[in-house]
Each structure stands twice: as C-alpha cells, then as structure tokens.
C-alpha cells in the first residue's frame, strides 16, 4: 500500500482525472519498489546473520578439535547445529577414531544445556556388573563395603550424557536404559526410589545396529528411541582435503604444548600424510603428529619424521624421488582432492593462487620438454 498526497495552491480543479490516474499509478510503482528494496534488505540481513552463525560454528568446532572444511563435514556440522537446539536424542555413527566424542561435545556446546555438565561413558570400558553401577548409580549396603554412589546419568543432570559404543551394552542394561529413556527417571542399583532425570542423551557406535536388531543382540525399541537424529561421520580417507587442516591444527596444538611452536610440515610430509590410508582415522593422525612434534630433530618435519612405516605401493626409486618431484606429486594430489579448484588448493597448500599458477605452468613446461626429448612417451 502507498499513499501519495497531492497538493496544489491553484485552487480546485487544478488536477484532472488523468492526472489523478497517473499519480495513482506512480504511487503503486513506488510501493512495489519500496517493498522490493525492503525485502532485499531483509534477505541480505538474514544471509549475513547465517554467514556469521556459520563462522561462529566453525570457530567453536575448531575449539573442540572438530576440524574440517570438506563438503561432508560441512553437512555434518549443519545437522549438528540444527539438532543441538532441540532436546532430541542423537546417535553418531562412524568408524573408530573419526571424532564421535568431539562431535558430541560440540553438540553439547551449541545446545541450551551448554552450562550443564557433559558426562562421557565408554560402554566397553567396564564389565557388565560394574557398568550397571557406573551408569545408574548404587545404594549403600548393596554389598559389604559398598557406599552410595551417583551414576553417570545423575551426574549429567541438567546437561548431556554421552554413551560411546552403545552397541556393546548387554541386553539387561539395554532394558534398564530403555526404561530411563521412556520414563525419564531411574532406580539406583539396590534401590527402590524413583529419581527424576533431566538429561540429554547422545550415543555413538561403530557397530551395524540394524543387523544387531535383526539378530536380537540389540533391542529394537531402544534402537528407535536412541536414533531420533542420526549423524554419519565419514572416515578420514573419504575427506582428504581435511587432512592438511587437521595436521596443522594438531601441529599447533602439540607444538605449543611441547614448547616447539615454530615447527612446520614440509611439502614431502604433507604428501606422505595425503597418501596414507588412515585406518585409525583422526585419532591416528593426531598421534602421528604428536609423535613427530616430540621427536623431529629439525624445525621442519619431513616425511621420514612421520611414524607411518613404509608408504604402500612405493618402490625405492619413488620413495627417494627428488624434492621437485615430491612437490609436484603433492600439488597434483591436493588439486585432485579438491576437484580441480585452484583457489581451494592454494588455500590448503598455504600459498597464494599466483604461486600455484606459476608452479602449474612450470610443470606443464617440464612435461612438454620431456615429451620432446622422448617422443615414445606421447604414444
């Protein structure tokens, strides 16, 4: 709606009906333009707020050691952000060492429960008899010398309980956990009093729970109670662009901790990290960098300083390649990992785009010279 006030000092009749129709049309056009401008401004404000929120999310993720800029990790962070603001149960799935507890801590930090406790419990750490008391608590006098002790569920009141490797829970403990999830209250071991609970539950597993449900080794009703939101964490080998980011993060972390803040990774060391299959995922990478920081004899960590054993599939000649060839292989691996994006490759390599372009032109020139010297290589 727009209102246009027409005013004249020449008395009545100064404006004809045609003038009035023209002014009405002008008012409508002005209203549309104003509405479009305000809508665009609102959309732009929302876009800026979203960018700021995503930046804060990445900074917070980095502070929790959850590092990555690959499309897969961006999707994980987006789901985590949305799930965090609710109280829904979250199940994190992925191989050992991918960072499931780090992600659980991040979800807690993003949630309304951030000021409450984050209590982790590894379901594989204790035998069933001890795990029951550790999880649900125990009353005094249950056995000789036993004193009353709160379980992890009560200790997490007002916050988040993280159950790692929930697929390893015995069926008897699964039944007891199901009652807690359904009724939001528990009974300690040896007790009769029902204790109300206010706890957010996050679980993690590397096991195929669907198969376990069909086999009868995991309760179907508990499975569906726990997997309200499911987040799949990809293994490190499926997101190679995150390897340099993680390596530099751990290098800075342990360099500061061990009093060696000036250490850096050579191009050969980065190439070696990119070529490793990482069966132990992020945990293995962290341990490798930690050992290299502690033991490297020089300020620059070389490929030989990384405790990774012999590179798979490399013969002696390729392992002893000239530095120029190592640099070439590393740059081409990074380019392949980022799908050919030169700007992202330059950012991961820690160089500007003009330097990357110059090196690629040099590689192309060297290939042309080699082909000219050896025509058989072109066949």
User: For 292-339, how does the pLDDT look when each residue is reduced to its tens digit (9 = 90+)?
Assistant: 999 999 999 999 999 986 554 444 444 445 666 767 777 887 777 667
Percent of the chain scoring above 90 in pLDDT: 54
Calculate Rg over the CA atoms of the chain.
Answer: 30
Identify the three-state secondary structure at position 32. Answer: helix
Q: Each residue of 113-151: b (16+ CB within 10 Å) or e?
A: beebebbbbebeeeeeeebbbbbbbbbeeeeeeeeeeeb
Can you give the pLDDT at residue 69?
87
Burial class (CB within 10 angstroms; exposed 0-12, middle 13-18, buried 19+) of 7: exposed
Q: Over 60: is that where the pLDDT of 60 sits?
A: no
Alpha carbons 306 and 38: distance in angstroms, whole number: 57
Can you give the pLDDT at residue 332?
80
Q: What is the mean pLDDT of the chain?
A: 83
Average pLDDT value for residue range 52-71: 63
Q: Which domains does the chain have, with CATH numbers?
A: 57-234 (3.40.50.300), 238-374 (1.10.8.60)
Average pLDDT value for residue range 355-371: 77
Q: How confident is the model at residue 191 (pLDDT cuts 50, 70, 90)?
A: confident
Average pLDDT value for residue range 113-142: 90
Alpha carbons 117 and 132: distance in angstroms, whole number: 20
Q: How confident is the model at residue 342 (pLDDT cuts 50, 70, 90)?
A: confident
**pLDDT per residue over 253-291, tens digit each?**
999 999 999 999 999 999 999 999 999 999 999 999 999
**Higher pLDDT residue, 195 or 351?**
195
Alpha carbons 189 and 173: distance in angstroms, whole number: 12
Can you give the pLDDT at residue 315?
44
133: Cβ contacts below 8 Å, ≥ 6 apart: 149, 151, 189
Can you give the pLDDT at residue 204?
97
Q: Each residue of 222-248: b (16+ CB within 10 Å) or e?
A: bbebbbebebebbbbeebbbbbbbbbb
Percent of the chain scoring above 70 in pLDDT: 79
In DSSP notation, 143-190 reads STT---B--HHHHTTTSEEEEETGGGS-HHHHHHHHHHHHHSEE--BT
**Higher pLDDT residue, 320 or 215?**
215
Can you give the pLDDT at residue 358?
80
Q: What pairing do the DSSP bridges indicate for beta strands 160-164 and 200-205? A: parallel
């Amino acid at each position: 709606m727009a209102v246009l006030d027409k005013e004249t000092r020449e008395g009545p009749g100064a404006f004809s009906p045609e003038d009035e129709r023209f002014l009405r049309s002008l008012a409508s056009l002005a209203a549309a333009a104003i509405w479009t401008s305000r809508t665009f401004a609102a959309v732009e404000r929302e876009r800026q707020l979203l960018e700021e929120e995503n930046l804060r999310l990445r900074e917070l993720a980095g502070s929790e050691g959850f590092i990555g800029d690959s499309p897969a990790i961006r999707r994980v962070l987006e789901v985590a952000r949305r799930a965090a603001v609710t109280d829904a149960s979250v199940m994190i799935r992925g191989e050992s060492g991918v960072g499931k507890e780090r992600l659980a801590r991040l979800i807690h930090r993003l949630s309304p429960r951030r000021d409450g406790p984050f209590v982790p419990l590894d379901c594989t750490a204790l035998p069933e008899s001890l795990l029951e008391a550790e999880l649900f608590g125990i009353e005094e006098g249950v056995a000789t010398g036993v004193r009353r002790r709160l379980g992890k569920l009560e200790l997490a009141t007002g916050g988040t309980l993280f159950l790692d490797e929930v697929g390893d829970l015995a069926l008897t403990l699964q039944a007891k956990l199901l009652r807690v999830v359904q009724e939001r209250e528990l009974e300690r071991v040896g007790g009769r009093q029902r204790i109300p609970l206010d706890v957010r539950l996050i679980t993690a597993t590397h096991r195929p729970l669907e198969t376990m449900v069909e086999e009868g080794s995991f309760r179907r009703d508990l499975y569906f109670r726990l997997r309200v939101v499911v987040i799949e964490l990809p293994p490190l080998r499926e997101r190679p662009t995150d390897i340099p980011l993680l390596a530099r993060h751990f290098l800075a972390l342990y360099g500061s901790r061990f009093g060696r803040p000036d250490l850096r990774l050579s191009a050969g060391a980065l190439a070696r990290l990119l070529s490793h299959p990482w069966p132990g995922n992020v945990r293995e990478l962290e341990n490798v960098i930690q050992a290299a920081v502690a033991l490297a004899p020089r300020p620059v960590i070389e490929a030989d300083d990384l405790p990774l054993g012999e590179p798979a599939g490399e013969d002696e000649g390729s392992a002893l390649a000239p530095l120029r060839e190592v640099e070439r292989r590393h740059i081409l691996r990074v380019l392949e990992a980022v799908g050919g994006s030169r700007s992202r490759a330059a950012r991961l390599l820690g160089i500007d785009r003009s330097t990357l372009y110059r090196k690629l032109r040099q590689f192309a020139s060297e290939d042309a010279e080699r082909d000219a010297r050896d025509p058989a290589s072109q066949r």
